[in-house]
Structure 1
């Protein structure tokens, strides 16, 4: 069964409130949706989240690459030749990982629908449960404390706290949040490349001295600074996670061989899709380094693919997939959030469909 067409649309999804990190501030998601159709009418859906500050991919760039470069190479090819389709997507151009991810997610969705099987089963997994976190974006200390209390009230037991814009204030903010939520709540800190090596060690050692029990610190220094990550890891007890340092299996090999971090954060918008994400998870498993699966600010389409990946792979032990909870009106349905748990349907493919009151409009 061959691929007949690949179409792209753009839609803007306002957030409930602005999302602020050390790298950017946004009040809406600009979602690029891919619809892949087979000759028999089966459709596969994928999506991409433009994140110029991280992947370098803009909305216009994603759309242009899919329409002019990737799609023409896939149309007419059999959907069952998954590895070949993935190879074509990855070798179609340099970079552009978000474009590649959107198309490859649509390929997996269509193939699994063709075989009438959920994606997580196709990947060899079961619906094991992983606890999701909820993120606090950077803000004034009092607001961040209020947000933390609300998150606990909403039924979450894991909080991810954005940091990195002021290392001294970061010490105070996380200290106040720990005091506010108590010792039974898991706290993760994401600095988004905002600290130096020296600052990172001082910040983390301060929290360790004060027994704040931070579960992990994510990407404290610049993405290219693997030696810096290794230096921090060597000088603190708190586990260190790579995020922006990890795009490809080659990046994973470098991080693992250098023993630079304790965890890897896999995101489909960075890896370029599911197949390379699986390769990274497998490499990390061989090196006995556990993985988290996270997302950018994305809609349920691409987040659903990440959920299926996470529940299928045994070395993915943590998730950070709260992005759809930030959207004011989510246009898709198929994954269910219940407090800190995520559930996928037993439908084939991603199990995602567009809600009736959100028409599919091309732009």
Structure 2
């Protein structure tokens, strides 16, 4: 069972509503859909979506990496040599984490199909998953309206985008808290938008309000690890690293050095399921719980993230709502309110026509 060929197709998917963070605003996404074709006819599916402000990749660079060095590294490889194949993806080129993730996901999908088991079965677990719903950054009244709507749809955990202005951010959370049920919990994602001292001052102020905040995600610049630690050591609410975390090496330093309390793993940042597993396991050794997150991506890669999260024992938080923002039906998973359901079909359970040869 050898890798016969690898193909990639680029498509655009419109969003149902604009998605806004402290870093960017988008109304559609690009998806690079990757197929790994084995000599016995099995096709493994994967995908990647470029997020230039985080990974530095474009759709063109992802296509070039997949159809160039990654294809060269995998073609002719026996899929039974699975770990070798996964290693070849990571060694094929420098960086290009999203391109590597797409190939990694496709390889896991092909291997699961070859064994006739769902991906969560290959990985070894299927715990229950309930996702939060993201609230885009906007003026307080609009964010309150969106939050009330999300809570009414059954989402009892909201991930609120903030980070543009500390005082305005306080007003945003105050407005949201005034219209949602008392049992609804909040997670604040600053997307690197605050300075360390600003973050400490604002978080301490919020801590006195009893707003049901679970944690604060990436309050300072990704490269400011000392700033992360400064905030972590001076507030009570848990601090989570997102953009500061790309690899297992980053996870080792962040967790062993107690820079943060939590880690947000994203397949597009770390290069796929194999590296994500290493990150979660390293964090577990150091007593740091993890969340599985996603960029604004298609359901192909988000379903891969869900399979990984369902299987790894140290993934305790789930942020997998990206497909609900897209103007297309989810593949490989289904949503019942905030509950994410995975299937028993082999691999990811993805059969989209756009991913055809």
Contact 1:207–1:213 under 8 Å retained in 2? no
2:311 pairs with 1:308: no
Q: In the aligned structure 1, how far is the partner of 2:305 from the partner of 2:298?
A: 11
What secondary structure, in the 3-state scheme, does the structure 2 residue paired with 1:53 have?
Answer: helix
May I ask how many residue pairs the two structures share in their alignment?
357
2:290 pairs with 1:291: yes
Change (3 A) 1:71 1:353: same
Q: In the aligned structure 2, how far is the partner of 1:39 from the partner of 1:160?
A: 44
Contact 1:134–1:159 under 8 Å retained in 2? yes
Q: In the aligned structure 2, how far is the partner of 1:123 from the partner of 1:112?
A: 9
Contact 1:3–1:78 under 8 Å retained in 2? yes
Contact 1:175–1:207 under 8 Å retained in 2? no
Q: In the aligned structure 2, how far is the partner of 1:83 from the partner of 1:168?
A: 49
Q: In the aligned structure 2, how far is the partner of 1:124 from the partner of 1:287?
A: 22
2:338 pairs with 1:336: no
Q: In the aligned structure 1, how far is the partner of 2:84 from the partner of 2:247?
A: 18
What secondary structure, in the 3-state scheme, does the structure 1 residue paired with 2:105 have?
Answer: helix
Contact 1:253–1:283 under 8 Å retained in 2? yes
TM-score (structure 2 length as normaliser): 0.98
Q: In the aligned structure 2, how far is the partner of 1:261 from the partner of 1:313?
A: 20
The equivalences for 1:118-129 within 5 A come to 118-125=118-125, 127-129=126-128
The corresponding residue for 1:138 is: 137
Q: In the aligned structure 2, how far is the partner of 1:274 from the partner of 1:360?
A: 20
The corresponding residue for 2:2 is: 2
Q: In the aligned structure 2, how far is the partner of 1:361 from the partner of 1:335?
A: 19
Contact 1:265–1:292 under 8 Å retained in 2? yes
Q: In the aligned structure 2, how far is the partner of 1:359 from the partner of 1:209?
A: 50
The corresponding residue for 2:116 is: 116
Aligned-pair distance for 1:166?
A: 1.3
What secondary structure, in the 3-state scheme, does the structure 1 residue paired with 2:52 have?
Answer: coil
The corresponding residue for 1:101 is: 101
RMSD: 1.1
Q: Which runs of 5+ in 1 are unaligned?
A: none
Q: In the aligned structure 2, how far is the partner of 1:240 from the partner of 1:197?
A: 12
- Structure 1 segments, 4+ long, off by >4 Å, are 358-362
2:27 pairs with 1:20: no
The corresponding residue for 1:31 is: 31
TM-score (structure 1 length as normaliser): 0.97
Q: In the aligned structure 1, how far is the partner of 2:256 from the partner of 2:294?
A: 25
Aligned-pair distance for 1:361?
A: 7.4
Q: Which runs of 5+ in 2 are unaligned?
A: none
Q: In the aligned structure 1, how far is the partner of 2:188 from the partner of 2:261?
A: 14
The corresponding residue for 2:318 is: 319
Q: In the aligned structure 2, how far is the partner of 1:22 from the partner of 1:262?
A: 22
The corresponding residue for 1:213 is: 212
The corresponding residue for 1:351 is: 349
